[in-house]
Amino acid sequence: MKSYTLKIFLFLILFQSFDCFSQKQEQKRDSIEITQIATDFFSWYILESSNNSNGECYPIFIQDKNGMTTLDYSKYFKNLIEHSFSDTLVAKEKLSYQVCIDNLAKVKYSDFLKFDGLDDFESRNCDFTNYYRWTGGQEMFDGYTVTSVKIDGKKSSVIGYLFDNNYESGGIKINKRAISVTFIKQNNKWKILDISR
């Protein structure tokens, strides 16, 4: 009887160690995946923002079928989805432009083309091209690096910072702004839920 109990006990210990190994392997894969998603997103965003690409990393102003002004954010949201933004964050981001869209609906596109100052955009809550949405501020950074990863079931986060290169010191990175990217599982894939500074 003691031999049988000992075998069961050893089997349970062995089973538990396999389970722990499997969990660690899954956490390692998840850690690599969310690190890659965050790094890819910021690399894309920094590059596109620095190149001032029209419509790739923010909506653009267009004329609607009635001759009024509106926003086209089709490229922008396509890019966010391709960079693993969750449905929740995409919906929140779309909603953030609604006041601007409502205000633009009262402006003929021919009148919009005469806007010449930031006040014209700020007064309509449409000054989103005056700052960098996902990195903050009015100046772009040179890069992004990850410092730590936290995996917690179906919600995880990547902590990192945006930096500028110090060319006077041989290209040493200067820590400029801490930034956190929170992830959730959506259809069994990691998606960005929030970006906070």
Question: How confident is the model over 119-175, as pLDDT tens digits?
Answer: 999 999 999 988 899 999 888 898 999 999 999 878 899 999 998 887 766 666 776
Q: What is the CATH number of the domain that holds 149?
A: 3.10.450
Label residue 16 by pLDDT band (50, 70, 90): low
Beta-carbon contacts of 171 under 8 Å, excluding residues fewer than 6 positions away, are 165
CB-based burial label for 138 (10 Å; 0-12, 13-18, 19+): exposed
**Overall number of domains in the chain:** 1
Does residue 83 belong to any structural domain of this protein?
A: yes
Domain range for 159: 27-196
In a domain, 18, yes or no: no
Closest CA to 178 of 163, 192, 167: 163
Beta strand residue intervals within 81-196, DSSP E: 143-152, 155-166, 172-186, 189-196
30 contact partners, CB below 8 Å, separation of at least 6: 151, 156, 190
Q: What angle do CA 90, 91, 97 make, to 5 degrees?
A: 95
Domain membership of residue 1 (yes or no) is no
Tell me whether residue 10 is in a domain.
Answer: no
pLDDT class for 78, splitting at 50, 70, 90?
very high
- The verdict on residue 21 lying in a domain is no
Inside any domain, residue 5:
no
In a domain, 93, yes or no: yes
pLDDT score of 147: 93
Q: Which helix (H) or strand (E) holds 70?
A: strand 69-72
CB atoms within 10 A of CB 94: 16
Please indicate, yes or no, if residue 47 is contained in any of the structural domains: yes
Please give the C-alpha separations between residue 162 and each of 57, 156, 159, in angstroms, as whole numbers.
Answer: 17, 19, 10
Q: What percent of the chain has pLDDT over 90?
A: 63
Higher pLDDT, 177 or 19: 177
Which residue, among 95, 92, 98, has the nearest Cα to 124 in the 3D structure? 98
